[in-house]
Amino acid sequence: MARVVGPFLSIDASGTTYDILTASIWKGRNYMRGFFRPTNPKTAAQFAVRTELANAVASWQGLYSGTQDLWNVAARDVYPPISGFNYYVMQYILQDGVPTIPPQAPRKSKSIHGRNVYGLDIGYD
């Protein structure tokens, strides 16, 4: 059952009612949408992407903390700003394995409608 605080859709509403309607808050605004059950198609392509990302995370976790600090410092030059972890994982995917810090930090335009963030395309279309 949905939890409503105050007048409906005026203050706060969140939750799902009878698997039909879902109320939530996004960026401080209340909204309602139809309920849907997310699917998880276990395709070979999806498995490959998840495996690659898991390998990138494991690689980051295996780094010496001093090396992680270098990535954190290098990530400060990336626009829009991202964490050192995200910068490392992005470069791990782009460089097909254990990455090195690029001499030039990637900069994305201020447009919000770009297809590939930082030129990274992991194969979903």
pLDDT of amino acid 88:
96
Range of the domain at 8: 3-34
- Residues 28, 73 within the same domain: no
Is 73 a member of any domain? Answer: yes
3-state secondary structure 34-59: ECCCCCCCCCHHHHHHHHHHHHHHHH
- Residues 52, 99 within the same domain: yes
Is 85 a member of any domain? Answer: yes
pLDDT of amino acid 12:
73
Domain count, the chain: 2
Pairing of strands 12-17, 21-26: antiparallel
The string of pLDDT tens digits covering residues 18-74 is: 888 888 888 878 888 888 888 887 899 999 999 999 999 999 999 999 999 999 999
- Residues 56, 26 within the same domain: no
| pLDDT more than 90, % of the chain | 39
- Residues 15, 53 within the same domain: no
The predicted model scores a pTM of 0.61
- Residue 99 phi, psi (nearest 5): -90, 165
Q: Determine the average pLDDT of the residues in 87-91.
A: 94
